[in-house]
Amino acid sequence: MADFQLDYRISSIYDKDMNDEQKLKDFEPLALACKALSHPARLAILQTLARRGSCICGEIVDVMPLSQATVSQHLKVLKEAGLITGEVDGPKSCYCINVETMSGLRDKFGQLFVSLENCC
């Protein structure tokens, strides 16, 4: 905890434009998305959903070289991050990319990268 507070104070020296607590809260959705996107299988699942252009019901395991349990765990992480939506349809679960969340993340990542380019 002490290390975080030290880093927190150092970062506030360089950026007085924004309330530091608010800045951290603003980054929470990006951090959660980054964590969810940090596994190659999750990226492959998202790409599979995007290529289909529609919701996939129960077929994700058929196109992934992973066990049902592993795919289910990755889907859970993606859903908790808001990157996909999922509904149970009888014995199958149907998953779709959350287009609204993806659009918002694209904008937030764009803003972040633009701000990083202005550093030096």
Q: CATH code at 78?
A: 1.10.10.10
Other CB atoms within 10 A of residue 6 CB? 10
pLDDT, the chain, mean:
81
pLDDT at 116 over 90: no
Evaluate whether residue 96 is within a structural domain: yes
* Cα 26 to chain centroid, rounded: 14
Query: Is 107 in contact with 33 (CB distance < 8 Å)?
Result: no
Evaluate whether residue 81 is within a structural domain: yes
Q: Tell me whether strands 56-57 and 84-89 are parallel, antiparallel or unpaired.
A: unpaired
Q: What is the domain count for the chain?
A: 1
pLDDT at 5 over 50: no
Query: Is 64 in contact with 45 (CB distance < 8 Å)?
Result: yes
- Which tops the pLDDT comparison, 52 or 83? 83
Report residue 90's pLDDT band, with 50, 70 and 90 as the boundaries. Answer: low
Evaluate whether residue 20 is within a structural domain: no
Evaluate whether residue 74 is within a structural domain: yes
pLDDT at 29 over 50: yes
pLDDT at 19 over 50: yes
pLDDT at 109 over 70: yes
